[in-house]
Structure 1
Amino acid sequence: MAVDTTVTNDLRKEIVKCNDKQQLVNLRQQLDTFEQSIDMTGVTTFEQKRIKQLIDGLYKILDNKQIQLSMNRFEFIGDPIPPRHSKNQIKLIEKQDLAETNSGSAVFELLNESIDISETRYVLITSSTNSIISTDKLSPPPSIHMRNTTDSICTLTSKGAIFIHNVRNSILVLSCHQARLHNIHNSIIIVDKVKNNRIIIEDCSGLVINQQIEVDDFNHPTKESINPHYKVIDQDSLNHITQRISNCSVEDLRVIIGKCFELTQ
């Protein structure tokens, strides 16, 4: 299926010039709908990769725009002070952005935290280090973007797509319409539910993935040889891992992740 570049070009222009959070939400919905309408049946691996890069590029622009619009604004108080008066300082007063609670995406940056995310907005996790993350399974967000994650356990449920970039030494439990993983290393991937039981990976290594899941690896498109970038875990080991991570605390996170990897050897 050929992708209509007129649609993607128009979306790109609208995202770049967008200065309103609610409008950005609408643009994300348009991109989600467009992305889900793409049928990869019969499409060559090369073309699949090109389409993925095109869509991922648009989502990246969206995420950056969301961060830009979500940043707190600052206001100078008083007249400007010339540099020679070094003892005087310009005061900055942070203004609360009330619109953030009403529209747009929910943006998270996590360090040594355990958090249950209950959001009906789009979820953007910009970074996570030594943290435990879960989203509401009964009322999940429309889509999730997560990047820059290390030493974390993430149980993510989304009505739509989950896009994950730059992850190391973590355990990901996913339930979604579509899952795309880029630059994921030395991590355990447990897919509870995904459309067509298929996930897409690129630039990944050292992955452990549960059974019954088809993996489209853009760096190893052939099915005629063993994929060096991931291996499949047996059901018994998977059950033990699921049990271990169910009652994990932040303090024990690295130890538990290490023991889970031992079960995959």
Structure 2
Amino acid sequence: LPQPKPEAEPVLSGRACFKETITTKLQHMYVTDLSQCIISAPGPVGSIHVKNVTQAIVSLVSDGPVFIHDFTDAILIVKCHQLRVHNTKNVKLFMDVGSKRAIIEQCSALTVGLYPGSQNMVEIDDFSWPTKNQANPHYDFSTESPNYNWVDSIGDGSLSPEVVRRL
């Protein structure tokens, strides 16, 4: 799989038990190695690559592609033009994808739903399950409307143990 360009230094890396709102003027945002956190990137950013995230709520807005790699036990709320999700398990994914297609590969236990306020259905192309003739065991669709407004009331910085338990 393609790795981020060497000049793409992480905007955020190696953090745990915190909330951060990321605003950047960079064309490409790279975030890696996060756990027990809340990340918001209201953007829009040209492209986003997020890798190695565990037990988190991540909200992203991009004008271009978003690449998600190695997410576990997380909630991902994403609005972008193109979405690719790789090696991800036990994740709730709420999305609005301009291309109307999301690509997943080596994923399991995904729950897929619409981005808050969106009516744009997204078709899933699973490279690990190329047939459309049988139900895909890697994801389920949900009609749940994500309500994570409680996250907005939490300031950036360290998270209390009570908040970490909700993740």
The 1:175/1:228 distance shift into structure 2, 3 A limit, reads: same
RMSD: 1.8
CA distance, structure 2, for counterparts of residue 143 and residue 130 of structure 1: 24
Secondary structure of the residue aligned to 1:207 is strand
Partner residue, 1:173:
77
Partner residue, 2:123:
214
The 1:61/1:194 distance shift into structure 2, 3 A limit, reads: closer
The match for 2:24 among 84, 94, 119 is 119
The 1:222/1:253 distance shift into structure 2, 3 A limit, reads: farther
Q: Is the 8 A contact 2:75 2:91 kept in 1?
A: yes
The match for 2:137 among 217, 228, 242 is 228
Residues 163-185 of structure 1 show CA distances to partners (whole Å, capped at 9, x for unaligned) of 01001000000111101000000
When normalised by structure 1's length, the TM-score is 0.54
Larger radius of gyration: 1
Residues 59-94 of structure 1 show CA distances to partners (whole Å, capped at 9, x for unaligned) of x051xx23xxxxxxxxxxxxxxxxxxxxxxxxxxxx
Per residue, is there more strand in 1 or in 2?
2
Per residue, is there more helix in 1 or in 2?
1
- Unpaired stretches in structure 1, ≥5 consecutive residues: 1-55, 67-103, 258-265
CA distance, structure 1, for counterparts of residue 88 and residue 163 of structure 2: 19
The match for 1:184 among 88, 112, 125 is 88
Partner residue, 2:149:
246
- The code of the aligned residue for 1:207 comes to L
Partner residue, 1:43:
none
- Unpaired stretches in structure 2, ≥5 consecutive residues: 115-120
When normalised by structure 2's length, the TM-score is 0.83
- The code of the aligned residue for 2:64 comes to G
Q: Is the 8 A contact 2:56 2:73 kept in 1?
A: yes
Q: Is the 8 A contact 2:29 2:48 kept in 1?
A: yes
Q: Which has the higher contact order (CA 8 A, sep 6+)?
A: 2
